[in-house]
Amino acid sequence: MTARLGVVLVEPVSDGNVGSVARVMANFGVDELAVVGRCPLTEFTRAMACHAWDVVERRREFPSLARALAGFDLSVATTAQRGDSDRHPLRAPTQTPEQLAARLGAAGGRVALVLGREDRGLTAGEVGLCDVVCTIPTPSDYGSLNVSHALAILLYALRPGAPAEYELASGKLMRALYRRGDALVSAMGYPEGRARKAGLVLRRVLGRAGLTSQEAHTLNGVLRDADGMVQPPEGDGSRNREARPRID
């Protein structure tokens, strides 16, 4: 994996797991740790971190997942709860760690690995904020892993540190592209539920694609032009179609 990886822990319950996660990060040369919410640290945290206490000390704390992800180009939600089918795009289709590594192996940029609470994982809203969904398959029906164990498997599969062949489109550009897609769906007059699902599907497809900046710019232009060609739904002739600024 050539991208620069960071780890985002969402409201960790156990301070020991914060230390364990830091230790795994140090094992694989990853040093950027973000924590959503607060988790008071103790000597147990230090003991579990072992020689990676510096990773814990350099952590950044954020009040929300959206704030924690703002500096990343791509975010990966980790979850043991798979969607039943691809008709439910919030959690399906999921990528295995190996599939994620194969798809993004040559891409540079900043990628966040998002790990949920030990007792209940990530909420649906938090999964929806992420670009890609990743699940570690297990042979038993019990698929929930300790967060540090899950991270170790992910980092082993991704193997950070190889030279990049291309850079991912920035997170800022991708978020603008998602908004452009949402605007197009809105212009088509979809019902709220259908529009929300269409926007999520678009995010999942583009997230898995690992777009370059040029690809994202081109798609943004296509969606902008398509939005300009869409006629207001019948009976909504007064819809304000102010020109949206071009994103360069």
Q: What domain count does the chain have?
A: 2
Q: Does the pLDDT at position 234 exceed 70? A: no
Do 36 and 129 form a contact (C-beta atoms < 8 A)?
A: no
Q: Which residue has the higher pLDDT, 80 or 125?
A: 125
* Rounded mean pLDDT, 163-168: 81
125 and 205 belong to one structural domain: no
Under DSSP, the state recorded for 52 is G
Q: What pTM, to 2 d.p., does this model score?
A: 0.77
Q: What is the mean pLDDT of the chain?
A: 86
Identify the CATH number of the domain in which residue 40 sits.
3.40.1280.10
- Residue 19 sits at the vertex; the CA angle it makes with 15 and 20, to the nearest 5 degrees, is 110
Is a pLDDT exceeding 90 seen at residue 159?
Answer: no
Reported as type and span, the H/E element at residue 229 is helix 213-229
Burial class (CB in 10 A: 0-12, 13-18, 19+), 10: buried
Tokens 């900043």 identify what position? 110
Over pLDDT 70: what percentage of the chain? 88
Q: Find the domain containing 77 and state its range.
A: 4-167
Is 107 a domain residue?
yes
Same domain, 134 and 37: yes
Whether the per-residue pLDDT at 210 is higher than 80: the answer is yes
Which tens digits make up the pLDDT trace of 73-119? 999 999 987 665 566 667 677 889 999 988 887 788 999 999 999 98
Please tell me the predicted confidence (pLDDT) of residue 146.
92
| pLDDT mean over 46-72 | 96
Locate 114 and state its tokens: 């998002």
Helices 97-104, 147-158: axis angle to 10 degrees equals: 40
In a domain, 160, yes or no: yes
**pLDDT score for 204:** 87
Arithmetic mean of pLDDT, 143-172: 87
Helix axes 171-187, 192-209, angle to 10 degrees: 150
What separation, in Å, do the N-terminal and C-terminal C-alpha atoms of the chain show?
A: 28
Residue 225's alpha-carbon distances to 108, 221, 244, in angstroms, are 29, 6, 10
If asked whether residues 89 and 12 sit together in one domain, one would say yes
Which of 67-71, 94-98, 243-247 comes out lowest in average pLDDT? 243-247
